[in-house]
Amino acid sequence: MKRLFLYLLALLPVISVVSLLLLAILLFPITLLPNSILPVAPIYIVEIILGILLGLYGFRLRRMQIDNKLQIIYWIILGASAGVLLLLKYRLIILLQPLLPIIYAIVFEHIFISFKKYVQKSRDAFVVLNSFDAFFIGFYFLLKFIIKCKTDVINSFLNKLSIPQDDLELIIIILTLIVLFVLIPAFRGCLSVWFYKKQNGIRKQFGKVFWNLYLKSYFASFISICLYATLFFQLDTLQFSTILVFLIYMSLNIYFWMYVYEGIDRGGDDKKEVILNWVLIGLVSIFLVLLDQIESDLIGILTWFLPILLPIFIGEVNSIIPRGYLKTPTPVMKKHIYWLQMMSFNTLLVFNIVSSIFTKQILKKNQMEQINSLKLFLISVLDRGTSSNFTLGIFVSFIMLLCSMAIAYVLSKVMIYLIRRTYIETSNRYFN
């Protein structure tokens, strides 16, 4: 019974949303018809259609040769729900009827075997995520109710604090943002990973870490909290439509968790590789910041020195390995270095040309400043008032760099083709 309750808690948001979607599909065509030609209310027509479909699926369960007790339970629940609707006129029961075949399909249909295994392994994680989200949503409305009822007491307490009003509001905003978007997602993500590891008996292997997995779980939780928070600011009361939206958001936990659980099953990622990737991300981030702040100077330096230094930094890395392990570059390495030189030079060249075309000098506060009109235009297009100009500037520089790399890739292919055709394919004077 405990396992059944846990599985129900783990899948409740998903099967509820799927159930409501099935009802909506059945109900929508009927609502298009005028009521004057309908013999009964649309909900009873839907109940008849739904009853026929559920009955047909009940016969399918018999052909699947599952346990007779489970078949009897299916028919009893189906008959009882139909009786409650038709005899007692309790219409909300129709919302629960599609849950029955959905649960049976997940358990017994072969097409859902992979999903069933996924749910079985992640059951405790889903229970934690759904329970945490339900508690989080309920706590928000409880806190909102308390603030509404105790407004005078709260204002009196805040007035007693010897803190200016503006500073107090700033402190509350900062603390709220830290708790809402840092502490809560981090705790939620770590909790789900810990319960998954505990359920499946997973231990960290030697030389491996779960850092990236905790980071992924944090970002997944961060997205979920952001979805809930955006809905909080638009709601005053908890209604059925609101609960439906919350269920849809909670059902996304199954999708977000896919990006986390596979890495946990591997026992983590190699520690050295993770550190190397983080260092690489840090270097790329620093490069993008410098590209945004000192664009022309940085591009000018790299355009001349990067193609020259690449053969030394990468092509001669074999010179620093210990003695006795001397290696010589292979043809693949030589081709790789040649391609890196070509791509780096053309990328920086294209970026520099584009920047130079759209860069203008203006007089501002008795000083000449260089303004990139293309960059300012892209920032104005992307600006929605939710991000700082510094962040948008880095993002726009990244977009311009990607576009330059795409153009440089095509240009490099054309140049290599022309050079090869001129110096190799049409003549033997240059290479034997």
**DSSP one-letter string for 31-83:** HTS-GGG-SS-HHHHHHHHHHHHHHHHHHHHHHTT--HHHHHHHHHHHHHHHH
pLDDT (mean) for 3-26: 80
pLDDT in tens, 358-401: 777 666 666 666 676 777 777 777 666 555 566 777 777 788 88
Do residues 205 and 263 touch, judged by C-beta distance below 8 A? no
Contacts of 307 (CB under 8 A, 6+ apart): 341, 344, 345
In this predicted structure, the answer to whether residue 318 has a pLDDT above a threshold of 60 is yes
More confident residue, 232 or 218: 218
In this predicted structure, the answer to whether residue 223 has a pLDDT above a threshold of 70 is yes
pLDDT band at 346 (very low <50, low <70, confident <90, very high): confident
362 φ/ψ angles, rounded to the nearest 5 degrees: -130, 155
pLDDT band at 183 (very low <50, low <70, confident <90, very high): very high
pLDDT band at 325 (very low <50, low <70, confident <90, very high): low
Helix (H, G, I), strand (E, B) or coil at 97: coil
In this predicted structure, the answer to whether residue 65 has a pLDDT above a threshold of 80 is no
For the chain, the first-to-last Cα distance in angstroms comes to 80
pLDDT (mean) for 412-428: 82
In this predicted structure, the answer to whether residue 188 has a pLDDT above a threshold of 90 is yes
Which pLDDT does position 11 carry in this prediction?
Answer: 84
pLDDT (mean) for 281-296: 76
Which pLDDT does position 295 carry in this prediction?
Answer: 66
pLDDT (mean) for 307-328: 72
pLDDT band at 186 (very low <50, low <70, confident <90, very high): very high
pLDDT in tens, 82-117: 777 666 565 666 767 777 788 888 877 778 888 888
Q: Which region among 26-35, 189-198, 259-268 has the lowest average model confidence (pLDDT)?
A: 26-35
Angle at 15 between CA 11 and CA 19, to 5 degrees: 170
pLDDT (mean) for 132-146: 86
pLDDT band at 131 (very low <50, low <70, confident <90, very high): very high
Which pLDDT does position 75 carry in this prediction?
Answer: 79
pLDDT (mean) for 117-137: 89
Range among 18-22, 68-72, 206-210, 408-412 rated most confident: 408-412
pLDDT (mean) for 185-201: 90
pTM of the complete model = 0.70
pLDDT over 70, % of the chain: 85
Which pLDDT does position 279 carry in this prediction?
Answer: 86
pLDDT (mean) for 229-251: 79
Which pLDDT does position 144 carry in this prediction?
Answer: 81
Which pLDDT does position 85 carry in this prediction?
Answer: 66
Whole-number Å distance between alpha carbons of 269 and 271: 6
**DSSP one-letter string for 194-234:** HHHHHHHT--PPTTEE-HHHHHHHHHHHHHHHHHHHHHHTT
In this predicted structure, the answer to whether residue 122 has a pLDDT above a threshold of 80 is yes
Which pLDDT does position 391 carry in this prediction?
Answer: 74
In this predicted structure, the answer to whether residue 187 has a pLDDT above a threshold of 90 is yes
Do residues 11 and 3 touch, judged by C-beta distance below 8 A? no
More confident residue, 130 or 428: 130
Q: How far is CA 343 from the centre of its chain?
A: 32
Do residues 327 and 377 touch, judged by C-beta distance below 8 A? no
